[in-house]
Chains A and B, each alone.
Chain A
Amino acid sequence: MSPADVVSGILIVSGALLGLVGGIGVLRLPDVFARMHAATKPPTLGLVLVATGAILRVDAISDATLLALVIMLQFLTAPVGAHLIARSAHASGGQVDPATDPDELAEAD
């Protein structure tokens, strides 16, 4: 077992742990926006960690390139997708938890 394998194992397990945090948050948080907070940030970092761990493990350089491409794609698309869902969920109305005190999007309308 080489040092690269150890580092890759640590990266993969911690990335999967961050994904699990996102899953628990999606199940337990009160409204769409809090759930989206849990569903986008930790799993994105988790995917980056898991893919970096896989880059350390694969043999071919083309596979490593593909994994790096997936990391870049995730960084580009995750915030855009979350922004689109948040905007449309707020526009369709009635989904903000009452505990959300300064609802600045509603005040802006």
Chain B
Amino acid sequence: MIVATNVAFVLICVGVLSTLVRLVIGPSLADRIVATDLFLTFLVMGSAVLSARDGRGTYLEVMLVVAVVGFLGTAIVARFIERRGA
């Protein structure tokens, strides 16, 4: 189990690195919000793996809040792009 969670952490870390690269170089605001959305999905995934490793739900509230706030941020920035145009 420890092996599986450690492998999952490594895979998630590589994915997070690639989203961060896209967040920095992404030409438009839409690219950046797509990368941020994926980054928050990775964060939720990582806290699920953490609770699976410990067998306790210490970080599950954080996971729920990040999922909700990530969707709200995406929706609000999408409205902003539509109004401003970028």
Q: Is the CB of A58 within 8 A of B37?
A: no
| In the complex, chain A residues whose CB is within 8 Å of the CB of B55 | 57-59
**Min C-beta distance of B67 to chain A, whole Å:** 5
Nearest A residue to B3 via CB reads A9
A81→B8 CA distance, assembly (Å): 26
- Chain B contributes a number of interface residues (CB within 8 A of A) equal to 55
A8→B74 CA distance, assembly (Å): 31
- Chain A contributes a number of interface residues (CB within 8 A of B) equal to 55
List the interface of chain A (C-beta within 8 A of B): 1, 5, 8-10, 12-13, 15-17, 19-20, 22-24, 26-27, 32, 35-36, 39-40, 43-44, 46-47, 50-51, 53-54, 56-60, 62-63, 66-67, 69-70, 73-74, 77, 80-81, 84-85, 87-89, 91-93, 95
Please give 7 more A-B residue pairs, beta carbons under 8 A apart, in addition to A32-B31, A84-B78.
A16-B45, A23-B19, A60-B56, A66-B61, A70-B48, A73-B68, A95-B30
List the interface of chain B (C-beta within 8 A of A): 1, 3-5, 7-9, 11-12, 14-19, 21-22, 28, 30-31, 33-35, 37-38, 41-42, 44-45, 48-49, 51-53, 55-57, 60-61, 63-64, 67-68, 70-71, 74-75, 77-79, 81-82, 84-86
